[in-house]
Amino acid sequence: MSETLALAKKLVSIDSFTPKDKGCQSIMSNYLSHLNFKIIDLKFGEVDNFWAVRGQQSPVFVFAGHTDVVPVGDESKWYTPPFSAQVKDGMLHGRGTADMKGSLAAMLSATDRFVKDYPNHKGSIGYLITSDEEGPATDGTVKVAQYLKEINQTVDYCLVGEPSATNELGDVIKNGRRGSLNGILKVIGKQGHIAYPHLANNPIHLLIPALDDLCNEVWDEGNEYFPATSFQISNIHSGTGVTNVIPDESDVIFNFRYSTKNTHEQLQSRVCVILDKHNFEYQITWKHSGHPFLTPKGELVNACVDAIKTVKNINTQLSTSGGTSDGRFIAPILKAQVVELGPLNATIHQVDECVSTQDLEDLSDIYYHVLRNILT
């Protein structure tokens, strides 16, 4: 069994549901300590995190990732038990294999190989690991990034091991992510009998034209790296559940995934302008969960593209699609170049999550070549 696969099986066998780490980080930090990394455990609230660094010089290249996993659902529906870490037909099965314990194992084995091949490499290698990526993400990477900023620890380049590939390993890397803004809108009307609408004020009727305007608004047209900003409604609730009562309130939950052509403050302002045009009483609360970030073509992107070409002989595509990741904290707080490069995302958060064992070996090889491109 290869070192990468052995590490992946060891990590996947632990049921580290968010925000519980359950010893995954100890496995990683013990491994890194034998490579002369300085380990700093950073617990914020109930969340385990650690920062590890080898070297004191620039440039500082950091691997970032998370040890927590999402719930498995009904275990009886799994092809193999979700934490048995079994290999069948060339696939490692289990929760977290792709998202993202396989990446963590590949990072460790690549680092071990690189340090042995280049013991006097230039710069420094860091690890920023959390157990709060799949959950609220309030006591994880964001807190560690703030801590690193406070102690003046620079980060020049950061590779996040999130699953990024679509059809084959290395075909897509994420060199940015859209921002995410959530809104909860409450439209206030007046309850009444359905047969006497003139004595009531139906909030659903008030809401519909405003939602139509919001859905048809062109928020921006995107740019070279980002698609146009997307406005999507995820929940609508109103009524008492009977047929003869006009409700007094309607609630809507919506989300913006937005490009660098907008800011969350601008989007909030524009939403309120549209709502105010319709002259009804409303309340709105906002939760901003991530700024957009972008790493243009440069040292880190080029190092990743070259590494993928060397190992897989394919031309990778740069993308900013998909959900949010912890890169949204690292890029703005530490002013680092950030990319996401990991295995296929086809089975993440699904029953029978799995990853190709060959892809894990190739991913370790890619990470090794990224290190060599940056630090030699």
| Residue numbers annotated as active site | 68, 133
**Cis? peptide before 59, omega within 30° of 0:** yes
Is 349 among the annotated ligand-binding positions? yes
Is 66 among the annotated ligand-binding positions? yes
Neighbour count for residue 231 (Cβ, 10 Å): 21
For 123: left if phi > 0, alpha if psi spans -120 to 50, otherwise beta; the answer is: left
331/341 Cα distance (integer angstroms): 15
Q: The tokens 């069994």 sit on which residue?
A: 1
355/91 Cα distance (integer angstroms): 5
Is 134 among the annotated ligand-binding positions? yes
CA distances from 156 to 15, 209, 224, 234, 355 (A): 33, 48, 24, 37, 30
Report H helices in 122-263.
141-150, 203-216
CA distances from 87 to 19, 83, 91, 355 (A): 26, 12, 5, 9
Question: Please, which residues have CB within 8 angstroms of residue 243's CB and are 6 or more apart in sequence?
Answer: 194
Show binding-site residues for Zn(2+): 66, 99, 134, 162, 349
